[in-house]
Chains A and B, each alone.
Chain A
Amino acid sequence: MSFDISLAKRRCDRLIAAHVTAGDGVTVLFGPSGIGKTSVLDMVAGLLAPDEGHVRVHGVTLFDSTTRTSVPPERRRAGYVFQDARLFPHRRVEANLRYGERLAAPAERWIDFDAVVTLLDIGQLLRRWPATLSGGEARRVAIGRALLAAPRFLLLDEPLSFLDAARRDEIARTIEDIRDRLRLPILMVTHDAAEAERLATRIVRMG
């Protein structure tokens, strides 16, 4: 089992709840905007504390409210690709890519810098500053940065949003590549049915 997730959190007057059990491939969390899909990814990554539930990935418990277990985000090894990329504005693209790579234990790294640059076709961007990148370029760099940090799984938040048709197709093919060639379990959030259909091995509906 890649993902075994059951979470609940009360935020203001609404309840965010998600139950996911899924094997390999791309698991899509599907539902309308505002239902709390991103909050679920934040809870899996350890950036937001759930009220109760558990998060297990590949049999490793990252969070469990009954045993009061909560692994800090830096040790969860989640490759989180945020919708807004969140590249570090004070570092060039190459330094952004290498940020997590440097912090990962050498034995745990499973992909090297050149392979990531080739996979995402970002060789021509390495000397650029994040502020000069287009939306599609920034997202590719963000995916590369996450892959280089030696993640055990990927969290993708609306990876195809705000892109023109050509860029969408490009990123979608990259995700398929990661799914089929790198065989990395992916938990992905989207509100777009066509996107979910195209990429999902399994679809989990929220709301």
Chain B
Amino acid sequence: MLSGEEWAIVRLSLLVGGVAVAAVLPLAFALAWLLARRRFPGRVLLDALIHLPLVVPPVVTGWLLLLAFAPDGPIGAMLDRWLGVSVLFRWTGAAIAAAVMALPLMVRAIRLSIEGVDRRLVDAARTLGASRMRAFATVTLPLAIPGVLAGTVLGFARALGEFGATITFVSNVPGETRTLPIAIYSALQTPGGEAAVLRLAAISVALSLVALVVSEALARRMGRSAHVL
């Protein structure tokens, strides 16, 4: 089956995708809530900005990330000065690229699920003595969970498949930024790499499938009719 090196690629991909999604989930949720429930100036612009990575060529997104996180870039300079770290050519950089690309899909799915929660139920909770925060935690959040789950799975799958922005931003470094898609690309460039391509591609398909089935099972377990699939 897979060689040790290939298993390491799978583990790296899961790490990058998992960290990306976990780190960006609170932000995705906050943005989704803002867009679903608040009216404020610049809302349309914010919506457009979030969705930009979905439509801009991933190479461009990767290049913009490179500009921002380069040692003399606005974010890169801050990271260097305050934490003494750089994300270039590191798996953390790959996770950032994956997070940026996963964000729009997550915000979309979570936003839909929050919009699906009847505000009149929140009103009812308020008259029963619940503060805004408590009504959110006890009514909106539990009713939106299936959508949050769906968005997270979607984001994770997108993160696993991320290629263009990652290779532009943090290049193709074995053991650091060579995730599944980039490893497949590298194997395709290598004479006699077809067998490795087949194995890695099969793993990619299997991972995506497992993610979808697991989330569906979770949604079922919630005992509600809202399913991911």
Q: Which residues on B sit within 8 Å (CB–CB) of A79?
A: 127
Across the interface, do A86 and B224 meet the contact criterion of CB distance under 8 Å? Answer: no
Scan B33-70; emit 1 where CB is below 8 A from any A CB, else 0.
00000000000000000000000000000000000000
Across the interface, do B128 and A76 meet the contact criterion of CB distance under 8 Å? Answer: no
Across the interface, do A88 and B121 meet the contact criterion of CB distance under 8 Å? Answer: yes
Q: How many chain B residues touch A (Cβ–Cβ < 8 Å)? A: 18
Contacts A74-B129, A74-B130: A82 and B224 contacting too (C-beta < 8 A)?
A: no
Contacts A86-B120, A86-B121, A103-B134: A80 and B127 contacting too (C-beta < 8 A)?
A: yes
Across the interface, do B127 and A73 meet the contact criterion of CB distance under 8 Å? Answer: yes
Q: Is the interface of B mostly helix, strand, loop or mixed?
A: helix
Q: Which residues on A sit within 8 Å (CB–CB) of B118?
A: 86
**Whole-angstrom CA separation of A146 from B126 in the bound complex:** 11
Instruction: Determine the residue in chain B with the shortest Cβ distance to A145.
Output: B128
Q: A60 CB to closest chain B CB, in angstroms? A: 16
The answer to whether the Cβ of A84 comes within 8 Å of any Cβ in the partner chain is yes
Of residues 96 through 131 on chain A, the ones whose CB sits less than 8 Å from some CB of chain B are 99-100, 103-104
Q: How many chain A residues touch B (Cβ–Cβ < 8 Å)? A: 26
The answer to whether the Cβ of B124 comes within 8 Å of any Cβ in the partner chain is yes
**Whole-angstrom CA separation of A26 from B126 in the bound complex:** 24
Q: Which residues on A sit within 8 Å (CB–CB) of B224?
A: 89-90
Across the interface, do B129 and A88 meet the contact criterion of CB distance under 8 Å? Answer: no
The answer to whether the Cβ of B14 comes within 8 Å of any Cβ in the partner chain is no
Q: Which residues on A sit within 8 Å (CB–CB) of B127?
A: 45-47, 73-74, 76, 78-80, 146, 149
**Number of contacts between A and B (CB, 8 Å)?**
60
**Whole-angstrom CA separation of A33 from B134 in the bound complex:** 34
**Whole-angstrom CA separation of A63 from B72 in the bound complex:** 56
Q: B156 CB to closest chain A CB, in angstroms? A: 25
Contacts A47-B123, A80-B124, A86-B121: A103 and B130 contacting too (C-beta < 8 A)?
A: yes
Q: A110 CB to closest chain B CB, in angstroms? A: 14
Across the interface, do B131 and A74 meet the contact criterion of CB distance under 8 Å? Answer: yes
Residue from A72, A90, A146, A150 in contact with B142 in the complex, judged by beta carbons closer than 8 Å? A90
Q: Which residues on B sit within 8 Å (CB–CB) of A80?
A: 124, 127
Q: Which residues on B sit within 8 Å (CB–CB) of A73?
A: 123, 126-127
Q: B164 CB to closest chain A CB, in angstroms? A: 40
Instruction: Determine the residue in chain B with the shortest Cβ distance to A108.
Output: B129
Instruction: Determine the residue in chain A with the shortest Cβ distance to B131.
Output: A74
Scan A46-80; emit 1 where CB is below 8 A from any B CB, else 0.
11000000000000000000000000111111111
Q: A113 CB to closest chain B CB, in angstroms? A: 15
Contacts A80-B127, A99-B125: A88 and B120 contacting too (C-beta < 8 A)?
A: no
Across the interface, do B126 and A88 meet the contact criterion of CB distance under 8 Å? Answer: no
Q: Which residues on A sit within 8 Å (CB–CB) of B131?
A: 72, 74
The answer to whether the Cβ of B75 comes within 8 Å of any Cβ in the partner chain is no
Q: A30 CB to closest chain B CB, in angstroms? A: 23
**Whole-angstrom CA separation of A88 from B143 in the bound complex:** 9
**Whole-angstrom CA separation of A201 from B175 in the bound complex:** 80
Scan B134-150; emit 1 where CB is below 8 A from any A CB, else 0.
10001100110000000
Across the interface, do A84 and B129 meet the contact criterion of CB distance under 8 Å? Answer: no
Across the interface, do A104 and B121 meet the contact criterion of CB distance under 8 Å? Answer: no
- Can you list 13 contacts pairing A with B, beta carbon distance less than 8 Å? A47-B123, A72-B126, A73-B123, A80-B127, A86-B121, A88-B124, A88-B139, A89-B143, A89-B224, A99-B128, A104-B129, A145-B128, A146-B127
B contact residues vs A (CB 8 Å cutoff) = 118, 120-121, 123-131, 134, 138-139, 142-143, 224
